[in-house]
Amino acid sequence: QVQLVESGGGLVQAGGSLRLSCQASGRTFGSFGMGWFRQAPGKEREFVAAISRNGGSTYYADSVKGRFTISRDNAKNTVYLQMNGLKPEDTAVYYCAAAYPGNYYLEYTYTYWGQGTQVTVSS
C-alpha cells in the first residue's frame, strides 16, 4: 500500500510559477513510476507528466511541454512538478499517482492516487 499526499497548490497570476510536491509513504517508492494528472471543472482528468522509477525518463503532455518539469527524489520519497509560465487554462485539481512500469500516459496504468491539490491561475 502506498499513500500519496500532494502539496504546493494555490492561487497564482498568469505567468507565475508553482512547485507541487507529492510525498509518498512506504519503502517501495523507487518501485513506482510517478505521474501527475489534472482535472479542470467539467472536464475529464488528463495526463500532465510522468517520470520513470529511477528518474531517467520523463514524459509530458504537449500542453505543458517546455513549461513544466517533473523530477523525483527517491531518498525523500517525493516527486515534484515545477510549473512555470502558468496560464489560466492550467487551472485544475492536480493529482499525483504511482504506477508499476507501463504506459505512463494512461490513467488506468496507475494504482495509487493522492487526494489532489488545487491550482488556480488568474488572468
pLDDT in tens for each of the 123 residues of the chain?
899 999 999 999 999 999 999 999 977 999 999 999 999 999 999 999 999 999 999 999 999 999 999 999 999 999 999 999 999 999 999 999 999 999 999 999 999 999 999 999 999
> 48, 19, 18: which is closest to 34 by C-alpha?
48
53: left (phi over 0), alpha (psi -120 to 50) or beta: alpha
Task: Please count the other Cβ atoms lying within 10 Å of the Cβ belonging to residue 59.
Answer: 17
β-partners of residue 80 are 21, 71
What is the rounded distance in angstroms from the CA atom of residue 22 to the CA atom of residue 34?
A: 10
What's the pLDDT score for residue 1?
A: 83
Task: Please count the other Cβ atoms lying within 10 Å of the Cβ belonging to residue 77.
Answer: 18
CA torsion, points 23, 50, 65, 68, in degrees to nearest 10? 10
Task: Please count the other Cβ atoms lying within 10 Å of the Cβ belonging to residue 50.
Answer: 25
